[in-house]
Amino acid sequence: MLRALGLTCALASMSAMADAPKNIIFFIGDGMGPAYTSAYRYYVADSDVDRVTPTVFDRLLAGSASTFPHDDTVVTDSAASATALATGVKSYNGAIGVDADKGPLDSVLVKAKQAGWQTGVISTSQVNHATPASFVAHAQSRKDYQEIAEQFYSRRIDGKPLVDVILGGGQKYFSLEEQGLGSKMVDWGYQYVRSFDALPELTQTPAMGLFADVGLDYAIDAEQPLRLSKMLDTALRLFENKSDPFFLMVEGSQIDWCGHGNDIACAMAEMTDFAAALELAEAYAKRHGDTLVVYTADHSTGGLTLGNKGNYRWDAKVVKQVDASLMVINESIEGLSGDALTKALAKNIAFEFSDNERFALESLKNHSDSRYWLLVEFVSRRSHTGWTTKGHDAIDVPVGAIGPMSDKFVGYHDNIELGQSLIDLVN
């Protein structure tokens, strides 16, 4: 009887191992609450109800997750939520890879490396920003940027780099000057490039590509708007050079930044970038059959609504008439009035402004912050986009998955459960 029971347990264990993914790609849309994935669906459809089709977010949708931090605030920041997703443990707002008592926590990335997996982080922010940092570092405050950056170099597993592939922004923190952190990493064996055009020069791991001083340009303003796809394609190429499994965290950082700025056109460009990268991973998972892809968000930003001020309408066509971030547009009209203002606005915004709107902008020509929020009001009013805050909200976020063990992510979860499930899969 005992022998039969032991055989049954062994067979069950072997079956579980056979079903486990060889690779995991974990996508985090920073600030990407459910209103963003809904807006993206209608943005792609261009407000034409006869052409609304499911997006990659709809195809992979499996459930939702709550995001509250350890304390009683209910509304999380990116550090606490990323720590929860990375470690499966709740912490306080501002915490990077530490618990509520400020004790260090090992992330799923660390545990994957300990198990012999290749590891990587991709981000459109600086790579030592809150979300990627929580997978790599321990810090009592997310603001300790240089301390966090140093841990990309100092934290090692069996004398090897903790992170094999590092792609995103943050050149400021990884200097190539003598004794600079970037220089130390190159001396240690990292290949390091500083432009997207140089990505093909990365031929082996460890590898690092940092493409901006801090965060990358907004997708809507960038020469390379699908930058996440470009970085993901490079990471997959590098990982496939080896037979080892890999864990890769991919963050669409600036969905959040556009949300803080209540800039709907900026946000939809970031969603387009994030969706393209997720589709690339989806295709990879279908092609290989051994890769789990999971997406979620750390929180929702801006209190985005589709429809505002009692209007039963949301107009994506208006959103598409804006082809630069409102931050860039605001800078371009600094100090301008009359025809010069009209021409500057027309360069990036296809709809016409009324005389009253132009007069209001002229009256604030030397008041940048107030003028910015007036531009937000004009775009939001025309597109019927609503915002309740310039910060985060506590709305549950979407969860989606495809590949081996994707059923673990079906239904409602708290964010720590997502982290715990990922850790179970790499152990």
Asked, for residue 405, whether it belongs to a domain, the answer is: yes
- Measure Cα distances from 338 to 333, 362, 364, 413 in Å: 11, 8, 13, 54
Asked, for residue 73, whether it belongs to a domain, the answer is: yes
Asked, for residue 13, whether it belongs to a domain, the answer is: no
Residues paired with 336 in a beta bridge: none
Statement to judge: residues 397 and 282 lie in one domain: yes
Statement to judge: residues 369 and 257 lie in one domain: no
pLDDT (tens digit, 9 = 90+) per residue, 363-399?
999 999 999 999 999 999 999 999 999 999 999 999 9
pLDDT (tens digit, 9 = 90+) per residue, 260-309?
999 999 999 999 999 999 999 999 999 999 999 999 999 999 999 999 99
User: Which residues form the catalytic set?
Assistant: 78
361 backbone dihedrals φ, ψ, rounded to 5°: -65, -40
Query: Are the C-beta atoms of 112 and 64 separated by less than 8 Å?
Result: no
Statement to judge: residues 239 and 349 lie in one domain: no
For residues 128-151, give the mean pLDDT. 98
Q: Cite the annotated binding site by residue number.
A: 30, 129, 131, 251, 256, 260, 298-299, 392
Statement to judge: residues 257 and 336 lie in one domain: no
Burial group, residue 374, by CB count within 10 angstroms (0-12, 13-18, 19+): middle
Asked, for residue 99, whether it belongs to a domain, the answer is: yes
Statement to judge: residues 326 and 372 lie in one domain: yes
Neighbours of 287 (CB within 10 A): 9
Burial group, residue 195, by CB count within 10 angstroms (0-12, 13-18, 19+): exposed
Statement to judge: residues 359 and 227 lie in one domain: no
Statement to judge: residues 276 and 417 lie in one domain: yes
Statement to judge: residues 141 and 121 lie in one domain: yes
Q: Cite the annotated binding site for Mg(2+) by residue number.
A: 30, 129, 131, 251
Q: Does residue 17 carry a pLDDT above 70?
A: no
- Residue listed under structure tokens 């790579």: 127
Of the candidates 160, 164, 158, 375, the residue with the CA atom closest to the CA atom of residue 262: 375
Structural domain count, the chain: 2
Q: Does residue 256 carry a pLDDT above 80?
A: yes
Most confident of the ranges 2-6, 15-19, 338-342: 338-342
- Residue 83, C-beta contacts closer than 8 angstroms, at least 6 positions apart: 89, 91, 95, 96, 97, 98, 105, 134
Q: Which domain holds residue 324?
A: 315-383
Asked, for residue 211, whether it belongs to a domain, the answer is: yes
Statement to judge: residues 218 and 365 lie in one domain: no
Statement to judge: residues 345 and 409 lie in one domain: no
Give the DSSP H or E segment for 138.
none
Tokens of 162: 């903790």
Query: Are the C-beta atoms of 27 and 291 separated by less than 8 Å?
Result: no
Q: Does residue 348 carry a pLDDT above 90?
A: yes
d(CA 180, CA 189): 15
Statement to judge: residues 343 and 226 lie in one domain: no
- CATH number for the domain including 331? 1.10.60
For residues 332-353, give the mean pLDDT. 97
Handedness of CA 276, 228, 305, 63 (dihedral sign): positive
Q: Cite the annotated binding site for Zn(2+) by residue number.
A: 30, 256, 260, 298-299, 392
- CATH number for the domain including 153? 3.40.720.10
Tokens of 400: 């989606």
Statement to judge: residues 46 and 78 lie in one domain: yes
134 backbone dihedrals φ, ψ, rounded to 5°: -65, -20
For residues 172-190, give the mean pLDDT. 97
d(CA 231, CA 404): 24
Q: Return the pLDDT at 106.
A: 97
Distance from chain centroid for Cα 320: 22
What rounded mean pLDDT belongs to the chain? 95
Asked, for residue 6, whether it belongs to a domain, the answer is: no
pLDDT band at 47 (very low <50, low <70, confident <90, very high): confident
Q: Return the pLDDT at 3.
A: 45
Q: What is the pTM of this model?
A: 0.95
Asked, for residue 388, whether it belongs to a domain, the answer is: no
d(CA 118, CA 107): 14
Query: Are the C-beta atoms of 45 and 51 separated by less than 8 Å?
Result: yes
Better pLDDT: 19 or 305: 305
Asked, for residue 161, whether it belongs to a domain, the answer is: yes
